[in-house]
Amino acid sequence: MAKRVIVDQEECIGCGNCEDVCPDVFKLDKDKEKSEVVKVEGGPVKCIEEAMEACPVSCIHWE
């Protein structure tokens, strides 16, 4: 089964790094200033891991 990725909405500061690195999976909601996962399963693992590394508050997790 594919791993599911989540963004902790409490922790996210809306910097947009994850969308820059991996736009197929993460989308920044500019009104809420929070990032959302638009592709929960089956996203490219390598780019999700890069987004995790690029996140300044480490709020992207595998579920």
Residue 54 burial (C-beta neighbours within 10 Å; 0-12, 13-18, 19+): middle
Q: Name the DSSP letter for residue 5.
A: E
Q: Do the Cβ atoms of 1 and 20 come closer than 8 Å?
A: no
Q: Do the Cβ atoms of 6 and 37 come closer than 8 Å?
A: yes
Q: Given candidates 38, 53, 57, 62, which one binds ligand SF4 under the rule CB under 6 A?
A: 57
When the beta carbons of 15 and 40 are compared against ligand SF4, the nearer one is 15
When the beta carbons of 1 and 31 are compared against ligand SF4, the nearer one is 31
Q: Is 6 in the site for ligand SF4 (CB under 6 A)?
A: no
Q: Is 17 in the site for ligand SF4 (CB under 6 A)?
A: yes
Interacting residues with ligand SF4 (CB under 6 A):
7, 12-18, 26, 28, 35, 54-57, 59-60
